[in-house]
């Protein structure tokens, strides 16, 4: 049974643990720090954690794990790359990208676990690119343009500097998910139907 199949079920202790673990993973991925190139939005590894949260936990738990992280950031904990924290980060150029993380994780989960199916490589890659890159950019670029007062076209052009790194994260996330499906499916807390056994056809 998946969190997608039964979206109204109550969270249990295992759900809460997974939410906390992935919020922690996203925070830890910010420890190497951040740097900026041609813009005010930092380049970090934390988007990889968002991709994994959606792909492994599914849409609702994945979105909740990102929401928990951002709630902790809002109350002042320095959990974003570079030790950033506090409500001020939600008023700066990167605010749209942070909100995009939540929506992106949900979209990733919906695609990767569409109809409760077992994740496969092509659907995982499509999911993490769509949710982890396109959705995040769709939220981030307009807000960045508004805050920096640069034309949205110019902002979008400068944001292309993120693309190679984000595509690399998408490939890495896809590889991690594919490995977990084979080696440790319990990480997903899902039960996928086993392939149907073929019934022998009686000989005439």
Q: pTM, whole model, 2 decimals?
A: 0.87
pLDDT of residue 180: 96
pLDDT of residue 8: 53
pLDDT of residue 19: 97
Higher pLDDT, 159 or 40: 159
Higher pLDDT, 127 or 199: 127
Q: Determine how many CB atoms are found less than 10 A away from the CB of residue 91.
A: 11
- Chain-centroid distance of CA 67 in Å reads 11
For residue 109 the two structure tokens come to 């989960």
pLDDT of 60-100, one tens digit each?
Answer: 999 999 999 999 999 999 999 889 999 999 999 999 999 99
Contact 4, 60 (CB under 8 A): yes
Tell me which residue of 71, 102, 84 sits closest to 34, measured CA to CA.
84
pLDDT of residue 194: 59
Tell me which residue of 146, 161, 137 sits closest to 93, measured CA to CA.
146
All structural domains of the chain, each given as residue ranges with its CATH number in brackets, are: 18-188 (1.10.1760.20)
Can you tell me which residue has the tokens 């981030």?
140
157, pLDDT greater than 80: yes
Model confidence at 40, in pLDDT bands (50, 70, 90)?
low
pLDDT of residue 123: 98
The answer to which of 64-78, 94-108, 176-190 has the lowest mean pLDDT is 176-190
pLDDT of residue 44: 84
Share of the chain above pLDDT 90, in %: 73
Model confidence at 190, in pLDDT bands (50, 70, 90)?
low
């Amino acid at each position: 049974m998946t969190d997608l199949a039964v979206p109204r079920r109550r969270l249990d202790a295992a759900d809460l643990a997974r939410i906390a673990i992935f919020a922690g993973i996203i925070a830890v991925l910010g420890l190497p720090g951040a740097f900026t190139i041609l813009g005010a939005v930092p380049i970090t590894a934390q988007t990889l954690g968002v991709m994994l949260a959606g792909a492994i936990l599914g849409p609702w738990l994945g979105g909740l794990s990102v929401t928990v992280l951002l709630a902790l950031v809002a109350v002042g904990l320095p959990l974003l790359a570079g030790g950033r924290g506090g409500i001020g980060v939600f008023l700066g150029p990167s605010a749209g990208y942070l909100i995009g993380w939540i929506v992106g994780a949900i979209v990733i989960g919906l695609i990767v676990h569409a109809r409760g199916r077992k994740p496969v490589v092509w659907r995982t890659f499509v999911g993490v690119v769509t949710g982890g890159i396109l959705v995040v950019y769709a939220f981030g670029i307009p807000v960045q343009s508004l805050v920096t007062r640069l034309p949205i076209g110019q902002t979008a052009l400068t944001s292309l500097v993120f693309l190679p790194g984000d595509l690399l994260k998408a490939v890495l996330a896809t590889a991690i998910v594919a490995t977990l499906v084979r080696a440790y499916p319990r990480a997903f807390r899902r039960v996928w139907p086993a392939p149907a056994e073929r019934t022998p056809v009686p000989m005439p």
